[in-house]
């Protein structure tokens, strides 16, 4: 556990991506099985200990220190695991030596609601401050140390000098502590096989379009639909629906999963049909309509009827056991066009190719497109195979220019991980009328990116010196700072007091020069809702 704690400590204080990769790769090479496998699972969100919750950890520490002291310390530190690890009292008498990562995982897995208080306390007593921090991060799954699952996989590939594309291909279907994966990469064993399971294949991704010299003779153009990218897999009479990150969302969209009964792997955009919220009858509704379905563990009959889901297909990866990914896009597209008529038309349709002879012509078509479910266009090189990740020169995405509006900062909250000491999560609002006539400022969105590190420091100082009220971890600021906010779209929403919800809001500029009363009115934001 000491090595795991040292790794986390080093990662927290390391900003360079390459340095982070080197730290993880070195750890994976040095550490024995299964400790390194459990560590890899922790870094990629592959662990879940059902008995250990954040509330359990807070209750344990408040039995040992004054609750007010904990609350003040937590507010200052900004991270529960770090606060508890610092405040945890040293045990009296001798305690067993620190557990290994594997021992800690086994103990955490065996805990129940009835035993978690005593058993988690006993584990914490066996560790020093760094060890307690590492254990709590492991137990709660809230790493937040600037390590994505993708970066951990790249480090794995670097550790054993294997291609990252192969790691992505073999990863899914393996379970922690990934014995077969380590045997393949570290010891030259046989590559894990999952061809008989309905497993996720890594997506091919696109770079933002920055090259204006693209020759459209070499590329095909498609719409970039505003849903969520999904992969639908049917193998051995079993179907699964996966999100872009590889999460299994089959249970949230059972009507889509059940609709594929032909052995295949399909790539497409998950949308809902809409005769409401801006979508044409029978066509695709806005992302806001799809959002009503996302994240639900159970789906009611009413929800299935009101927001029927379907997949607009982009690509055919595997057809009845034949891997089509090495083929050029033109061949896969032809295969997909022949395949789609075999599918349920209520649950599947084909993403259209846009006829455009030049980039200028495509730009004009892109600008005229006002469909609520379109967020831009895709350019796919006609001879491109389907390869994992982003490969330069093959696929490009050309999103519509963002919408802009001026909003007033209202609330701020500390971030997580390396931002836990900074106020970096900002809620902003628009005036519901004329502010000079006493109009109210209503929250319309929240953003936590779009600014530089220097701007973050400036914003943190601003929040601290302009706080007028506190609500737990949230600070209310005076109504004086204006943000220019960029966003992709805005929709009506009954869940928000303002009546609207933004899609992908981010801070475009800090308008310290602009008086707050000159920020935009709510009516101006509502006027940007597309019919």
* pLDDT tens figures, 405-438: 999 999 999 887 677 788 999 999 999 988 877 7
What DSSP line would sit under 182-214, residue for residue?
A: HHHHHH--PPP--TTS----PPEE-EEP--TT-
Residue 505 has pLDDT above 80, yes or no: yes
What count of other Cβ atoms lies within 10 Å of the Cβ of residue 344?
A: 13
Phi (first) and psi of residue 343, to 5 degrees: -105, 160
Average pLDDT over residues 49-75: 91
Average pLDDT over residues 455-479: 89
Average pLDDT over residues 143-162: 86
Topology (CATH) of 403-526: OB fold (Dihydrolipoamide Acetyltransferase, E2P) (2.40.50)
Q: Which of 209-218, 284-293, 330-339, 461-470 has the highest average model confidence (pLDDT)? A: 330-339
194 closest CA partner among 238, 224, 255, 235: 235
DSSP three-state, residue 62:
helix
Average pLDDT over residues 57-73: 92
Task: Give CA angle at 59 (54, 63), nearest 5°.
Answer: 150
Residue spans per domain, the chain: 2-140, 204-399, 403-526
Residue 387 or 244, more confident:
387
Confidence at residue 277, expressed as pLDDT on a 0 to 100 scale = 42
Confidence band of 372 (pLDDT split at 50, 70, 90): low
Q: 21, exposed or middle or buried, with CB in 10 Å at 0-12, 13-18, 19+?
A: buried
Helices (H) and strands (E) in the chain, counts: 19, 23
Residue 333 has pLDDT above 90, yes or no: yes
Confidence at residue 98, expressed as pLDDT on a 0 to 100 scale = 94
Q: 161, exposed or middle or buried, with CB in 10 Å at 0-12, 13-18, 19+?
A: exposed
Residue 253 or 295, more confident:
253
Distance in angstroms (rounded) separating the CA atoms of residues 39 and 46:
9
Reduced DSSP (H G I as helix, E B as strand, rest coil) percent helix, strand, coil of the chain, to 5: 35, 25, 40
Sole residue written with tokens 């969100």: 45
Residue 75 or 398, more confident:
398
Distance in angstroms (rounded) separating the CA atoms of residues 473 and 71:
10
28-32, 125-129, 147-151: which range is least confident on average? Answer: 147-151
Over the stretch 79-102, which tens digit does the pLDDT of each residue have? 888 899 999 999 888 889 999 999
User: By the 8 A CB rule, do 111 and 120 touch?
Assistant: yes
136 closest CA partner among 85, 177, 88: 85
Distance in angstroms (rounded) separating the CA atoms of residues 45 and 138:
9
Q: Which CATH class name applies to 204-399?
A: alpha beta
Distance in angstroms (rounded) separating the CA atoms of residues 218 and 381:
6
> Any idea which architecture 2-140 has in CATH?
Orthogonal Bundle (1.10)
Residue 13 has pLDDT above 70, yes or no: yes
Confidence at residue 117, expressed as pLDDT on a 0 to 100 scale = 94
Over the stretch 278-323, which tens digit does the pLDDT of each residue have? 444 357 887 777 878 887 778 888 888 888 999 999 999 999 989 9
Confidence at residue 229, expressed as pLDDT on a 0 to 100 scale = 93
Distance in angstroms (rounded) separating the CA atoms of residues 33 and 309:
43
Domains 204-399 and 403-526 share a fold: no
What count of other Cβ atoms lies within 10 Å of the Cβ of residue 434?
A: 10
User: By the 8 A CB rule, do 256 and 310 touch?
Assistant: yes
Confidence at residue 294, expressed as pLDDT on a 0 to 100 scale = 80
Q: 225, exposed or middle or buried, with CB in 10 Å at 0-12, 13-18, 19+?
A: buried
What pTM value is reported for the model?
Answer: 0.71
What DSSP line would sit under 379-434, residue for residue?
A: EEETT----SEE-TTTEEEEEPPPEEEEEEEEEEEE-SGGGTTSEEEEEEEEESS-
Residue 181 has pLDDT above 70, yes or no: yes
Average pLDDT score over the chain: 89
- For residue 476, give the DSSP letter: E
């Amino acid at each position: 556990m000491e090595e795991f704690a040292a790794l986390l400590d080093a990662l927290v204080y390391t900003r360079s991506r390459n340095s982070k990769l080197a730290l993880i790769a070195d750890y994976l090479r040095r550490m024995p099985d299964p400790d390194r496998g459990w560590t890899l699972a922790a870094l990629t969100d592959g662990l879940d200990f059902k008995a250990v919750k954040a509330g359990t950890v807070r209750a344990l520490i408040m039995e040992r220190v004054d609750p007010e002291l904990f609350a003040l310390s937590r507010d200052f530190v900004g991270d529960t695991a770090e606060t508890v690890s610092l405040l945890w009292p040293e045990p009296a008498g001798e305690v067993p030596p620190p557990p290994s990562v594997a021992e800690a995982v086994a103990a955490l897995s065996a805990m129940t609601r009835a035993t978690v208080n005593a058993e988690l306390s006993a584990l914490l007593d066996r560790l020093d401050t760094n060890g307690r921090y590492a254990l709590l991060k492991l137990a709660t799954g809230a790493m937040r140390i600037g390590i994505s699952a993708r970066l951990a996989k790249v480090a794995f590939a670097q550790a054993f000098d294997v291609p990252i594309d192969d790691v992505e291909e073999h990863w899914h279907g393996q379970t922690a502590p990934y014995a077969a994966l380590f045997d393949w990469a570290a010891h030259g064993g046989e590559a894990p096989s999952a061809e008989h399971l309905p497993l996720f294949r890594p997506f091919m991704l696109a770079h933002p379009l920055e090259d204006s010299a693209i020759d459209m003779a070499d590329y095909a153009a498609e719409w970039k639909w505003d849903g969520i990218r999904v992969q639908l897999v049917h193998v051995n009479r079993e179907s699964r629906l996966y999100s872009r990150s590889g999460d299994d969302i089959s249970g949230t969209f059972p009507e889509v999963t059940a609709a594929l009964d032909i052995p295949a792997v399909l790539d497409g955009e998950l949308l809902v049909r809409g005769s409401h919220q801006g979508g044409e009858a029978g066509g695709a509704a806005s992302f806001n309509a799809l959002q009503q379905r996302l994240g639900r563990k159970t789906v009611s009959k009413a929800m299935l009827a009101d927001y029927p889901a379907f997949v607009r297909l982009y690509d055919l990866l595997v057809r009845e056991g034949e891997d089509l990914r090495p083929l050029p896009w033109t061949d896969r597209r032809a295969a997909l066009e022949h395949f789609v008529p075999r599918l349920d038309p209520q649950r599947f349709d084909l993403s259209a190719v846009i006829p455009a002879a030049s980039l200028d012509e495509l730009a004009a078509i892109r600008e005229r497109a006002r469909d609520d479910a379109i967020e831009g266009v895709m350019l796919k090189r006609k001879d491109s195979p389907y390869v994992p990740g982003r490969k330069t020169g093959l696929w490009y995405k050309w999103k519509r220019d963002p919408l802009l509006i001026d909003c007033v900062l209202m609330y701020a909250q500390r971030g997580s991980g390396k931002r836990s000491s900074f106020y970096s999560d900002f809620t902003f609002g628009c005036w519901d009328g004329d502010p000079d006539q006493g109009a109210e400022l209503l929250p319309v969105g929240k953003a936590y990116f779009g600014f530089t590190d220097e701007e973050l420091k400036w914003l943190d100082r601003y929040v601290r010196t302009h706080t007028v009220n506190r609500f737990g971890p949230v600070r209310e600021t005076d109504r004086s700072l204006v943000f220019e906010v960029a966003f992709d779209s805005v929709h009506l929403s009954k869940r928000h007091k303002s009546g609207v919800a933004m899609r992908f809001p981010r801070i475009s500029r800090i308008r310290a020069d602009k008086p707050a009363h000159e920020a935009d009115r709510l009516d101006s934001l509502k006027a940007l809702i597309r019919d």
